[in-house]
Structure 1
Amino acid sequence: MININEYQAIHEKTSHFDYNIAYNTYPCTIPLDFESVPLHWHEDAEFIYIKKGKGVIIIDGEEHTVSASDIAFILPGKVHGIFQVDDESMEYENILFDGKIFSSSLDDFYDSFLLPFFENAVEIPHIFQKGVPGYESMRRYLDANDNISSHREGAWGLAIKGNLYLLLFDLVTLYEKKIDSSNRKKIDKLKPVIKHVELHYSEPATVAEMADIAGFSESHFMRFFKDTFGVSFITYLNDYRLSMAARLLLSSEDTILDISQQVGFENLSHFNRKFKEKYNKTPKEYRINK
Structure 2
Amino acid sequence: MERECSIEFQETKQHGSRLFPFNIYPCTIPLDFPSVSLHWHNEMELIYVKKGTGTVQMETESFKGKAGDIFVVPPGTLHALQKSKGFSMEYENIIFEIGFLGAGAADLCAGEFLVPLAAGKLLPAVCLSPEDIGYEAVKKCLAQMEDLCRSREKGYELGVKAAVLQMLFLLIRKYPYIKEVSSPDRERLKEVLQEITEKTGENLTVSYMAEFCGFSCSHFMRWFKKMTGVSFTAYVNERKLAAAAEKLRQTEDKILAVSQETGFLNLSNFNRQFKKRYGVTPREYREMIGI
Which range, TM-score by smaller chain? 0.7 to 0.9
Matched, 1:149 2:149: yes
Amino acid aligned to 1:162: A
Query: Within 5 A, what are the aligned runs for 1:128-147?
Result: 128-147=128-147
Unpaired runs of 5+ residues, structure 1, are none
**Partner in structure 1 of residue 245 of structure 2:** 246
Range that drifts further, 70-79 or 200-209: 200-209
Could you say what secondary structure the match of 1:57 adopts? strand
Cα–Cα, structure 1 residues 276 and 178, in superposed 2: closer, same or farther, change >3 Å? same
Query: Within 5 A, what are the aligned runs for 1:1-290?
Result: 2-3=2-3, 7-8=6-7, 12-101=11-100, 102-122=102-122, 124=124, 126-179=126-179, 181=181, 185-288=184-287
Range that drifts further, 8-17 or 254-263: 8-17
Amino acid aligned to 1:273: R
Range that drifts further, 123-132 or 71-80: 123-132
How big is each residue's C-alpha offset from its partner over 1:224-244, in whole Å with a ceiling of 9 and x where there is no partner? 001121211121011111122
How big is each residue's C-alpha offset from its partner over 1:158-201, in whole Å with a ceiling of 9 and x where there is no partner? 2211211111112222222232648x543332011222333442
Range that drifts further, 208-217 or 165-174: 208-217
Amino acid aligned to 2:40: W
Amino acid aligned to 1:56: T
Unpaired runs of 5+ residues, structure 2, are none
Cα–Cα, structure 1 residues 135 and 209, in superposed 2: closer, same or farther, change >3 Å? farther
Q: Normalising to structure 2: TM-score of the pair?
A: 0.87
Measured on the aligned residues, the alpha-carbon RMSD in Å equals: 2.6
Partners of 1:10 and 1:16 within 8 A in 2:
no
Amino acid aligned to 1:170: L
Partners of 2:148 and 2:156 within 8 A in 1:
yes
Partners of 1:122 and 1:175 within 8 A in 2:
no
Cα–Cα, structure 1 residues 110 and 215, in superposed 2: closer, same or farther, change >3 Å? farther
Partners of 1:55 and 1:89 within 8 A in 2:
yes
Count of residues in correspondence between the two structures = 288
Range that drifts further, 117-126 or 264-273: 117-126
Q: Normalising to structure 1: TM-score of the pair?
A: 0.88
